[in-house]
Amino acid sequence: MKFFVDTAEIDQIKELNDLGMVDGVTTNPSLIAKSGRDILEVTKEICSIVDGPVSAEVVSLTADDMIAEGRKLAKIADNIAVKVPLTWDGLKACKTLSDEGNMVNVTLCFSANQAILAAKAGATFISPFIGRLDDINLDGLELIDDIRTIYDNYGYETQILAASIRSANHMSECAKIGADVATAPANVIKSMANHVLTDKGLAGFMADIEKAGIKIL
């Protein structure tokens, strides 16, 4: 499973990228706005750091405007994936932009039916939102499983990009289900290294080293 980091913070992206923990980046206008910098400027810098896809989201609502905006975003760098919402206009934009050879990430997916439509419209990525479904007492991971089954049944090439990930458990569950990509905040990716028994074992090891008076450096 590929890891995308869901952030516009350059330092976070660089740290994870240097460790080989980043296969791509997802951004949106809200994330970039927090940086206080120009959207196109930040997006271009991210694309220069990461080799994999960088999702840049349109802010228009009509198909024609999304297409025009998507074409502009695609010119930033070769690894831009234009992110459009899963609306009927978004699907129209997806079809046009993907036919023109652009990567397209269809976002805000909350049902298997929506995922089928995105695949038929030529989406490179479909982004089902796990956490937001969990918030309304629906099973977000079940949606990932349903989409995986449907895509495998019919050979759709659209990659499942699990989004709205809130925990390290979400990451491992998505990997077990077979999500192609999981995008998560940097702190969630880093939390995957944590385990109480690792901490306990290390504390015991260090206590033994101190008692023995061993010094390496």
Q: Would strands 125-128 and 159-162 be described as parallel, antiparallel, or unpaired?
A: parallel
How do residues 166-192 score in pLDDT, each as one tens digit?
999 999 999 999 999 999 999 999 999
pLDDT reading at 56 higher than 80 = yes
Residue spans of the domains in the chain: they are: 2-190
- Assess whether 83 carries a catalytic annotation: yes
At residue 11, the pLDDT reads: 95
The answer to whether the CB of 44 falls within 8 A of the CB of 77 is yes
Candidate list 14, 34, 75, 83, residue with the active-site label: 83
Q: Is the dihedral of CA 88, 97, 9, 169 positive or negative?
A: positive
Q: Which tokens go with 41?
A: 């400027």
The answer to whether the CB of 106 falls within 8 A of the CB of 90 is yes
At residue 215, the pLDDT reads: 77
The answer to whether the CB of 130 falls within 8 A of the CB of 110 is no
Name the H helices within 27-167. Answer: 29-33, 39-49, 63-74, 88-99, 112-120, 130-135, 140-154
Q: Does domain 2-190 have CATH number 3.20.20.70?
A: yes
